[in-house]
């Protein structure tokens, strides 16, 4: 069962516009959510995270929104730049003190292409 889903395999936006990447999850034990960016032949690079006690976290051009009731999170990139073109993964980990030890459950990824 896919506990974290990214339903859009790809997204194409124009430079300067907003990119919105979406992620849905089913496991109500998830309490920490992260976005990773991945370039070809490199490992995933941490981008931004959010705890379940918050509904928004912002870092420069990147903002993550969390809607717990809908079990949905999104990553907003504004303005988008050509260097943002990469695969973006949504990931989640379970509550502290549980037996998950912080292991991450990833979505399938969304390929973002930002056109100049």
Minimum separation from the CB atom of position 102 to other proteins (A): 5
Closer CB to other proteins, residue 47 or residue 77?
47
Residue 95 sits at the vertex; the CA angle it makes with 93 and 100, to the nearest 5 degrees, is 60
Closer CB to other proteins, residue 82 or residue 98?
98
Contacts of 107 (CB under 8 A, 6+ apart): 2, 4, 5, 6, 23, 89, 90, 91
Q: Which residues bind other proteins (CB under 8 A)?
A: 4, 6, 31-32, 34, 36, 41-46, 49, 51, 89, 91, 93-109
d(CA 19, CA 104): 24
Minimum separation from the CB atom of position 46 to other proteins (A): 5
**Closest of 27, 34, 30 to residue 88, by C-alpha:** 34
Minimum separation from the CB atom of position 94 to other proteins (A): 6
Closer CB to other proteins, residue 79 or residue 108?
108
Minimum separation from the CB atom of position 97 to other proteins (A): 8
Q: Are 29 and 92 in contact (CB under 8 A)?
A: no
């Amino acid at each position: 069962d896919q506990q974290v889903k990214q339903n859009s395999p790809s997204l194409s936006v124009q430079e300067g516009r907003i990119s919105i990447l979406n992620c849905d999850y089913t496991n109500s034990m998830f309490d920490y959510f992260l976005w990773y960016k991945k370039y070809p032949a490199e490992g995933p690079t941490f981008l931004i995270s959010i705890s379940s006690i918050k509904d928004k976290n912002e870092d420069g051009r990147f903002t993550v929104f969390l809607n717990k009731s809908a079990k949905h999170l999104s990553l907003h990139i504004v303005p988008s730049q050509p260097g943002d073109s990469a695969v973006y993964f949504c990931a989640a980990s379970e509550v502290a003190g549980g037996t998950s030890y912080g292991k991450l459950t990833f979505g399938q990824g969304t390929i973002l292409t930002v056109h100049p």
